Structure 1
Amino acid sequence: MQIKDFMIDQSLKELTEHRTVVLPVACYETTVNQNINGFIPLHWHDELQFVLILKGEAFFQINEEKITVREGEGLFINSGCLHMAKDKNESGCVYICLNVSPSFVLSQELYTTFVTPYIQATNISYLHLVPKELWAKNILDAIMKINQLIKENPPYYEIDISLHLTLIWKNVIVNGVQLEYEQTEMLKSQRMKQMLIWIHTHYTEKIMLDDIARAGGLSRSECCRYFKRILKKTPLNYVTDYRIQKSLLLLQQSESNVTDVAYQVGFNSTSYFIDKFRKSMNMTPLAYKKYKAADSLCEGGHLK
């Protein structure tokens, strides 16, 4: 299953239901550049995420940190961490994405001792899984096996998945990272999410830097530092990029026109929208609309 349109709420929390049959688990293969945005946009979820790169390489950002993950490698992304992914060097990156509810990786009796400390630790936003490390190879092998089990559905495969998840979590612990809990890091993450929630609630309106800063309880200069440090762009540039993301689905509606879409997503000038869209998507909004219409026609006529 390829998730092409990432559904997220106003706080960037992913709304895609991570569930396979009766298990609080989702495992699917995804091609990064086939997402509607051309990349996996910034989001977060309560589930733990494990990634295995099957082909190519991808550039990931997890909270403030950036990392390139190559074929055969993977990632563990902790619960609640902001993250995004882009194809690197037009490699056609494909990866297995395994999302699992933290409460499912171990039994309830073991959860408080062996899971809670890890999802609350402020120094483990992610772990880079490199197969030359035995603990990491064990995790990558288990991701592959879970993917096969879900595809093939053999008898009692749910029990086998549960066993592999236990093995995965044991190897996360075997890695031996010393856990840290910094109140300032927790507060930083909370303030960032508050500012993003505000933007995603008000993106159709006129937005000023003061408004964004106030949502995070920060000064204008500190607000700018947060965005540049975590998202590598200014707050208002982020607003523009988010508005363009929101325009993509609207442009695919047959009755829509470029001017209406521009105003619907918060631009007060069609020409400014076209200019920013072209710089972001390497084509004009009208060209994107025609391209998507032709693409849809091909799919409907089975020409793909």
Structure 2
Amino acid sequence: MKSFMIDQNLKELTEHRTVELPVACYETRINQNINGYIPLHWHDEIQFVLIRKGEAVFQINEEKIVVPEGDGLFINSGCLHMAEEKDGSDCTYICLNVSPHFVLSQELFSSYVQPYIFSTNLSYLFLDRNQHWAKNILKAVKTINQLVQQKKSLYEIDITMQLTLMWKNLIFNGFQLEYDQSEMIKSHRMKQMLNWIHLHYAEKITLEDIAKAGQLSRSECCRYFKRMLNKTPLRYVLDYRIQKSLLLLQHPETNVTEVSYQVGFNSTSYFISKFQQAMNMTPFSYKKIHMGIN
């Protein structure tokens, strides 16, 4: 089991550096995460995904997309995203995270990278292996993954060559860029509300509190959450509290009652009921499994 670490702003805390470059490339099984899925998060790095096995459902900002085996995604810098496997397919994928400033030289960054990073209509691109430009990108992801694992002489230079090739193919796709100030504001407000929840989840939270954090009315706040997460703000709070309880339950010194209050429930019985609905087992059963108790 792996704990996917994010801070109060939903920014991923994973160190995206597995070589002497601002690049991380690794394979991950979605169901091995402590939550059973990759929770909502964002990072400054751009991300390329290649599905090696099974199928995944990704959500990027407000959109959901199914990505089958052999295909992939480009996810832009700063975009909220999450992933879960589809239909118990035991999905495994290669994840390549790259600092935007490292994609091309400093002289070329402002002309050929920055416009894409700031575009409000380019939250992601589906990489269809049957399209020539996308196939080239997916092939380069595989190559970089091999380079990182093998670490042959001068492999860092080979990685930079592959990144240049990938970006050239992405631009070659001919995507028309747009810059919508209202979309930037929406994204910022959503992150503000989620940030507030992640700071205050252990306290009593009302809909008005969440709306105030995003400088919205209660009805508009509900529309934001429905559009982005397909759930109400208070349902998100409940789910987030359950997520936070999973790690606490794995500590040998904690008990179910303590955990319920630590994550913001004011009733142990209510916590047990909601945990069982979410996880198909009681908190105590979960604790027994992950503590190796017979």
TM over 0.5: yes
Please give the alpha-carbon distance, in whole angstroms, between the structure 1 residues aligned to 2:117 and 2:2: 28
What secondary structure does 2:292 align onto? helix
Whether 2:170 is the aligned partner of 1:211: answer: no
Please give the alpha-carbon distance, in whole angstroms, between the structure 2 residues aligned to 1:102 and 1:129: 19
Letter in 2 for 1:120: F
What secondary structure does 2:234 align onto? helix
For 2:193, the equivalent position in structure 1 comes to 195
For 1:62, the equivalent position in structure 2 comes to 60
Letter in 2 for 1:13: K
Whether 2:33 is the aligned partner of 1:35: answer: yes
Q: Please, what TM-score do these two structures have when normalized by structure 2?
A: 0.99
What are the superposed Cα offsets for residues 221-241 of structure 1, whole Å, 9 maximum, x if unpaired? 000000000011000000000
Please give the alpha-carbon distance, in whole angstroms, between the structure 2 residues aligned to 1:227 and 1:168: 34
Please give the alpha-carbon distance, in whole angstroms, between the structure 1 residues aligned to 2:107 and 2:269: 60
Letter in 1 for 2:105: S
Of 151, 172, 175 in structure 2, the residue corresponding to residue 174 of structure 1 is 172
Please give the alpha-carbon distance, in whole angstroms, between the structure 2 residues aligned to 1:177 and 1:272: 49
Letter in 2 for 1:234: T
Report deviation, 1:20. Answer: 1.7
Please give the alpha-carbon distance, in whole angstroms, between the structure 1 residues aligned to 2:75 and 2:186: 18
Report deviation, 1:269. Answer: 0.6
Of 210, 233, 243 in structure 2, the residue corresponding to residue 235 of structure 1 is 233
Report deviation, 1:284. Answer: 0.8
Report deviation, 1:189. Answer: 0.1
Within 5 A, what are the aligned runs for 1:266-281? 266-281=264-279
Please give the alpha-carbon distance, in whole angstroms, between the structure 1 residues aligned to 2:71 and 2:292: 36
For 1:283, the equivalent position in structure 2 comes to 281
Letter in 2 for 1:29: E
What are the superposed Cα offsets for residues 112-141 of structure 1, whole Å, 9 maximum, x if unpaired? 000000010000000000011000000000
Within 5 A, what are the aligned runs for 1:1-304? 4-294=2-292
Report deviation, 1:4. Answer: 1.6
Please give the alpha-carbon distance, in whole angstroms, between the structure 2 residues aligned to 1:205 and 1:184: 31
Report deviation, 1:64. Answer: 0.1
Instruction: Structure 2: state its 5+ residue gaps.
Output: none
Letter in 2 for 1:107: S
Runs of 4+ in 1 over 2 A off after TM superposition: none
* Identity score, percent: 71
Report deviation, 1:294. Answer: 1.6
- Aligned CA-pair RMSD: 1.0
Please give the alpha-carbon distance, in whole angstroms, between the structure 2 residues aligned to 1:138 and 1:87: 25
Q: Please, what TM-score do these two structures have when normalized by structure 1?
A: 0.95
What are the superposed Cα offsets for residues 75-101 of structure 1, whole Å, 9 maximum, x if unpaired? 000000000000101001000000000
Please give the alpha-carbon distance, in whole angstroms, between the structure 1 residues aligned to 2:170 and 2:275: 42
Please give the alpha-carbon distance, in whole angstroms, between the structure 1 residues aligned to 2:173 and 2:56: 23
Please give the alpha-carbon distance, in whole angstroms, between the structure 1 residues aligned to 2:167 and 2:278: 39
Letter in 2 for 1:5: S
Please give the alpha-carbon distance, in whole angstroms, between the structure 2 residues aligned to 1:21 and 1:28: 11
Report deviation, 1:21. Answer: 2.6
Letter in 2 for 1:136: A
Please give the alpha-carbon distance, in whole angstroms, between the structure 2 residues aligned to 1:17 and 1:186: 26
Please give the alpha-carbon distance, in whole angstroms, between the structure 1 residues aligned to 2:124 and 2:275: 32
Please give the alpha-carbon distance, in whole angstroms, between the structure 2 residues aligned to 1:226 and 1:72: 33
Report deviation, 1:293. Answer: 1.0
* C-alpha contact (below 8 Å) 2:10/2:42 kept by paired residues: yes
Letter in 1 for 2:35: N
What are the superposed Cα offsets for residues 30-80 of structure 1, whole Å, 9 maximum, x if unpaired? 000000100000000000000000000000000000000000000000000
Letter in 2 for 1:34: Q
Letter in 2 for 1:166: T
* C-alpha contact (below 8 Å) 2:19/2:148 kept by paired residues: no
